Amino acid sequence: DLSEEERLPFKCEDCGKRVRTIWHLKDHQARVHKNKNGPRKSIDSYFGVKPESKSEKTGDKKEQETDVIEMKTSF
């Protein structure tokens, strides 16, 4: 039988603390390790969501579509 610690799927690379979700991990890293990206941006990059780029604001969607394709093939 695994301990509570071992059952948690996400492990902080910096200190080895284990947490239940990616959200907890990013929040922990942002608070404890002052992760430069902060919780929100880290979570977005984890899911392959890029912060608004200049091309998106001008209505050019090509770049965004290739990001989605790359994300699917990287898993």
Q: Mind listing the pLDDT tens digit for each residue in 54-73?
A: 444 455 555 555 555 555 55
Range of the domain at 58: 4-73
Q: What is the pTM of this model?
A: 0.40
pLDDT of residue 56: 46
Domain count across the chain: 1
Determine the average pLDDT of the residues in 32-58: 56
Q: Mind listing the pLDDT tens digit for each residue in 2-25?
A: 676 678 999 988 888 999 998 899
Higher pLDDT, 2 or 43: 2
- In Å, what is the CA distance from 48 to each residue of 19, 51, 70, 71? 21, 10, 9, 6
Quick one: which H or E segment has residue 65?
helix 62-73
Instruction: Please name the residues in contact with 21: beta carbons below 8 A apart, sequence gap of 6 or more.
Output: 10
